[in-house]
């Protein structure tokens, strides 16, 4: 019998999040699980790391066979700490999530969930970020579990391509019936911000950041399209950010 894979589980909603608990439950059926997750919510942290303050990490009470640690840092910090201080070796897989809310299209840039997966990818660890399109704390993760398991087992069997991490988004459907899984590209979408300007009791103005999501990308190969049609989207994400196709054009510029 083959040895069980060592799976690092993390997220950005914090160690008590229901989405993390659902992910742990699935991973316990696949491998040996160690959880290293933020001790407080770290949504929209992008790929932040903690370099100007200190990090704490504590053993957290577990509710299953997995070991658990809570850390004071960002999702990317959690991965760094896990690999270097807790596991003592690179895990066979890192999974992040299940996020309460979408990380499709441009949201990948702001996502703490995906930053943890990308950090693992940079360190050469196969990695997947999972997100459910329901931001509520009470979101129902039950329907996601068989799909999270299928995708994870397939990734372990087929091997995730080098220098790539998977960004998995799961739709919420009235019917509850997910049509299937589609490999997609990131839709070209963006947020139009709206700042909600208020005045505090001391008379000082402050803002809440809100916004509207605009998707003008009508391609039928995008994550947004797949999700709208009732499919789970998987976008392969890379961390070589070079816009290689523009280099030739930039080489024609004269800097004198």
State how far the Cα of 81 lies from the Cα of 57, in Å rounded to an integer.
8
Do the Cβ atoms of 36 and 71 come closer than 8 Å?
A: yes
Query: Which residue number, 9 or 166, has a Cβ lying nearer to a second copy?
Result: 166
CB 161, min distance to a second copy, A: 4
Query: Which residue number, 65 or 201, has a Cβ lying nearer to a second copy?
Result: 201
Query: Which residue number, 35 or 237, has a Cβ lying nearer to a second copy?
Result: 237
3-state secondary structure of 133: coil
Query: Which residue number, 25 or 123, has a Cβ lying nearer to a second copy?
Result: 123
Which residue is it, tokens 């840092």? 73
CB 35, min distance to a second copy, A: 18
CB neighbours of 48 closer than 8 A, spacing ≥ 6? 74, 76, 112, 115
Per-residue CA distances from 156 to 6, 40, 161 (Å): 11, 30, 11
CB 25, min distance to a second copy, A: 19
Token pair of 225 as six digits: 């399209």
CB 167, min distance to a second copy, A: 8
CB 62, min distance to a second copy, A: 20
State how far the Cα of 166 lies from the Cα of 130, in Å rounded to an integer.
8
Query: Which residue number, 65 or 89, has a Cβ lying nearer to a second copy?
Result: 89
User: Please, what's the b/e burial string for 149-168 (b: 16 or more CB within 10 A of its CB; e: otherwise)?
Assistant: eebbeebbeeebeeebbbbb
């Amino acid at each position: 019998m083959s040895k069980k894979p060592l799976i690092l589980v993390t997220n950005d909603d914090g160690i008590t999040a229901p989405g993390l608990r659902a992910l742990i439950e699935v991973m316990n059926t696949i491998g040996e699980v160690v959880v290293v997750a933020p001790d407080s919510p770290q949504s929209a942290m992008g790929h932040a790391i903690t370099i100007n303050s200190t990090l704490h990490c504590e053993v957290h009470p577990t509710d299953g066979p997995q070991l658990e640690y809570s850390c004071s840092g960002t999702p990317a910090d959690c991965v760094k700490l896990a690999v270097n201080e807790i596991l003592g070796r690179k895990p066979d897989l890192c999974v992040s999530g299940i996020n309460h809310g979408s990380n499709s299209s441009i949201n990948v840039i702001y996502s703490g969930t995906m930053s943890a997966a990308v950090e693992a990818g940079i360190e050469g660890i196969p990695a997947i970020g999972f997100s459910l399109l329901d931001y509520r704390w009470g979101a129902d993760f039950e329907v996601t579990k068989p799909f999270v398991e299928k995708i994870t087992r397939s990734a372990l069997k087929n091997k995730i391509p080098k220098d790539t991490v998977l960004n998995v988004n799961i739709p919420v459907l009235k019917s509850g019936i997910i049509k299937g899984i589609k490999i997609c590209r990131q839709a070209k979408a963006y947020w139009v911000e709206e700042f909600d300007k208020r005045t505090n009791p001391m008379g000082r103005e402050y803002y809440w950041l809100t916004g509207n999501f605009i998707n003008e990308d009508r391609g039928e190969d995008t994550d947004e399209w797949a999700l709208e049609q009732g499919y789970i989207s998987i976008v392969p994400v890379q961390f070589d950010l070079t816009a290689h196709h523009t280099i030739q054009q930039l080489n024609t510029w004269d800097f004198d």
